[in-house]
Amino acid sequence: MMKSAAWLTSLNFPASDPIPAPDSPLRFEDGGQYRIEIPSTEGPRSLEAVIEEGRKRAVPLHRVSQGSGIMLMTDAEITEMLAMGKDAGIEVNLFIGPRATFDVGAQVFAPAGKALGLSARGTDQVRFALEDLERGVELGLKSVLVSDLGVLQVIGKMKVTGDLPSDLIIKTSVMMAPANPVSAKILEDLGATTINVPSDLTIPQIAAIRMAIKAPIDFYVEAPDNIGGFIRYFEIPELIRVASPIYLKFGLRNSPDIYPSGTHIENTVLALSRERVRRASLAVQTIARYCPNAVMSPLHKPLHA
């Protein structure tokens, strides 16, 4: 296996998953090692609940992300959500485009078709995703969530040509999560600026990905059931140590899949949003107890503003 190790090393990738995993020397631009993200924040009322619960529980919030998609939000809802995020000092990240699971194709639901994930089926869906993106950017959106490799590449090129803002944040979905450093580097090279990795990777495997990329890593400390349902709170200190800069994300086990969301299930969405913040409060306590010297990115607004 020496030849394969040499090949990987020549391409600036680790030759194996490092044991013990090394400390990450990388940080966010503000010097922080970690930030907190609340996923599945499905619209203004959900964001309102997240902000309220965050202040109630003294949970620092850096980013919220949404999963149903821009296409299922009105202009007024997007504008309100962005204004709320700006006022609270929270990055608002919205999903772009339709996806295979919204389309008429059946393979994505077949046991052997899961690899399709949330990819865009056909050129029309790629175009629809770009239409979604354009509308969001026109309304002031600065952070988007992408789940298709081709769409990622197009957006990355549009940033380079100036057709999209150069500071647009491109976050890749857990549904296209890279499971090794080579795949992670491909996403970064295509334009990803923050990368969601699988929640079932070991600490050395995560460390190997960190050695290959500079982009922040997004990681579900608690994963929803549909991506495994893992609960890894005691590993937070190690995740921060080896994967910095990292967004700690809090899904919910034993909860329904709410995509696509809407007012018909709003009470459920709000309850789940509040519980995700409570889960994040457990992480805050874990950090205070086991790695109090870990550096959190500064907040743009006081916790109790």
pLDDT 10s digits, 92-102? 999 998 887 77
> What pTM value is reported for the model?
0.93
Rounded to an integer, the average pLDDT of 111-121 is 72
The reply to whether 133 falls in a domain is yes
Q: Which pair of tokens denotes residue 141?
A: 């959106």
* Average predicted confidence (pLDDT) for the chain: 94
The reply to whether 116 falls in a domain is yes
Per-residue pLDDT reduced to its tens digit, 226-282: 899 999 999 999 999 999 999 999 999 999 999 999 999 999 999 999 999 999 999
Does the pLDDT at position 105 exceed 80? no
Does the pLDDT at position 163 exceed 70? yes
Does the pLDDT at position 300 exceed 60? yes
Rounded to an integer, the average pLDDT of 169-196 is 97
The CA–CA distances, whole Å, from 160 to 90, 157, 168, 191, 253 equal: 26, 5, 11, 9, 39
Q: For residue 185, what is the domain's CATH number? A: 3.20.20.70
Does the pLDDT at position 114 exceed 70? no
The reply to whether 46 falls in a domain is yes
Per-residue pLDDT reduced to its tens digit, 23-75: 999 999 999 999 999 999 999 999 999 999 999 999 999 999 999 999 999 99
DSSP 3-state of 37: strand
The reply to whether 9 falls in a domain is no
Per-residue pLDDT band for 116 (boundaries 50, 70, 90) equals low
List the domain range (segments joined by +) for residue 161.
32-290
Number of independent structural domains in the chain: 1
Pure H helices in 67-193: 75-88, 122-138, 149-161, 181-190
DSSP 3-state of 139: coil
Does the pLDDT at position 305 exceed 50? no
Rounded CA-CA distance 124/127 in Å is 5
CA 157 to chain centre: 21
Rounded to an integer, the average pLDDT of 178-207 is 97
Confirm if 59 and 119 have CB atoms less than 8 A apart: no
Residue pointed to by tokens 């999560």: 177
Q: What do you get for the CA distance between the two ends of the chain, in Å?
A: 57
The reply to whether 6 falls in a domain is no
Confirm if 227 and 174 have CB atoms less than 8 A apart: yes
Half-sphere exposure (Cβ direction) of 100: Cα atoms closer than 13 Å:
20
